[in-house]
Amino acid sequence: MDGSGVHDVPSGTLDKDARGAESATGHGPRVLPHVTVDTYNEELRDEEGFVGDRASGRAFSAILDDWRERVAATLDEDPFGDTPTGSISKATLDELLTGDDTVAAGLVLTAIEEFAHELATVVRRFLRLDGWRDTQRIVIGGGLSSSQIGQLAMGRAQVLLAGEGTPLELLPVRSHPDEAGLIGAAELAPAAVLASHDAIVAADIGGTNLRVGIVQIANGSVSKGAVWKMEHWCHRNDNPTRDQAVRRLAEMTTKLVERSVAANLDLAPFMGIGCPGLIDEQGTILNGGQNLPGNWQEDGFNLVSALSGSLPLIGGRKPLVVIHNDAVVQGLSEVAEMTDVERWGVLTIGTGLGNARFTNRRAE
């Protein structure tokens, strides 16, 4: 087996819901009401390190930075002036594609082309894994997916793969990337929770940002989930310790629960959390959490235990917390859009490259 996915990880506790499907009550479950998680958090390596890093947000910045240096050395000018590459927003790059500065537009297009080749290379490696074989569609999330530069890179990568005879669709996540990792958490909730309440609490913990939101569920349908309110913290700017990050997570959650009460929202006593790494059934991060602030993989650390006592009561009850990998959760936001295929995956382009592969479950 190439990679280190979840194939040997226990699936956690499962209960039968009203439709006869299984609802997860453990952490990192493999079997969910609508899909089976075939594999996730694959950490493919080559002689240069993690293969996924070649198609991360940092990789695109490095490619653009390299081409800026080449152009400046030859033309004695840089279209971006003294602005560091990391400070150039995706919106600015999108605007340059259709602007009057042809050199700047050409520079961005060149970076997109090189990144598309890297993305196609990464996809090829995933498709060689047992857990990724016969994948029909891959949705791509993360901040880059909502930009024109990201979508052009996806389209170009799909063309490259098609030219080799690989019949695979590459599409952006349909929800806003800041919200997909929250909306998908509703798929982790027991069916009874969705049927009897209007909304859940969800958190998306990444290597750069931490988001907590209230996800409204219309008539118990996850497919109609939408973020009502959200709190956002770019923790990388503050360089917090792990304990400070956990405390901030609890504070953000408390603030949103209070707002929900004030708005008379029928909030379920449930919280779904997505975070990087391989999650066991106790909610421990086994590996893959290296980009989080502090050591979240330390022996004895458990996020659920760390949050215990800090989360607010919801409806007079202590909320049930379910943790899964952040790419899995972001992918789960797409479940309703994947009914026309059987095997599909998600890649999230962020600080690193998150990944998960799913197989749809047939209605019983």
pTM of the model: 0.88
pLDDT tens, 168-227?
Answer: 999 999 999 899 999 999 999 998 888 889 999 999 999 889 999 999 987 766 777 899
Pairing of strands 285-287, 278-279: antiparallel
Q: What is the 3-state secondary structure (H, E, C) of 247-283?
A: HHHHHHHHHHHHHHHHCCCCEEEEEEEEECCEECCCC
CA atoms within 13 A on the CB side of 306: 20
pLDDT tens, 52-90?
Answer: 788 888 899 999 999 999 999 999 989 999 999 989 999
Q: Name every residue whose Cβ is closer than 8 Å to that of residue 63 and which is 6 or more positions away in sequence.
A: 111, 114, 115, 118
CA end-to-end distance (rounded Å), the chain? 31
Residues of the chain with CATH 3.30.420.40: 176-333
pLDDT value at residue 54: 85
User: In CATH, what number does 46-172 get?
Assistant: 3.30.420
Give SS3 for 56: coil
pLDDT value at residue 287: 87
**37, 56, 207, 242, 266 from 125: Cα distances, Å:** 19, 15, 24, 33, 45
pLDDT value at residue 18: 33
Give SS3 for 337: helix
Question: Looking at the predicted structure, is the pLDDT value of residue 268 above 60?
Answer: yes
Our measurement of the distance from residue 154's CA atom to the centroid of its chain's CA atoms, rounded to an integer in Å, reads: 17
CATH topology of domain 176-333: Nucleotidyltransferase; domain 5 (3.30.420)
What is the amino acid identity at position 185? Answer: A
pLDDT value at residue 282: 92
CB atoms under 10 Å from CB of 47, counted, come to: 4
pLDDT value at residue 25: 55
Using pLDDT thresholds of 50, 70 and 90, give the confidence band for residue 7.
Answer: very low
pLDDT value at residue 46: 75
pLDDT value at residue 44: 83
Using pLDDT thresholds of 50, 70 and 90, give the confidence band for residue 252.
Answer: very high
pLDDT value at residue 10: 32
Using pLDDT thresholds of 50, 70 and 90, give the confidence band for residue 1.
Answer: very low
pLDDT tens, 110-167?
Answer: 999 999 999 999 999 999 999 999 999 999 998 888 899 999 999 999 999 999 999 9
Of 32-36, 49-53, 279-283, which gets the smallest average pLDDT? 49-53
Closest listed residue to residue 34, CA positions, set 225, 205, 317, 233: 225
Q: Where are the beta strands (DSSP E) in the chain?
A: 14-16, 22-24, 35-40, 45-46, 49-50, 137-141, 169-172, 199-205, 210-218, 221-233, 267-275, 278-279, 285-287, 320-325, 343-349, 353-360
pLDDT tens, 11-42?
Answer: 333 343 333 333 445 899 999 999 999 999 99
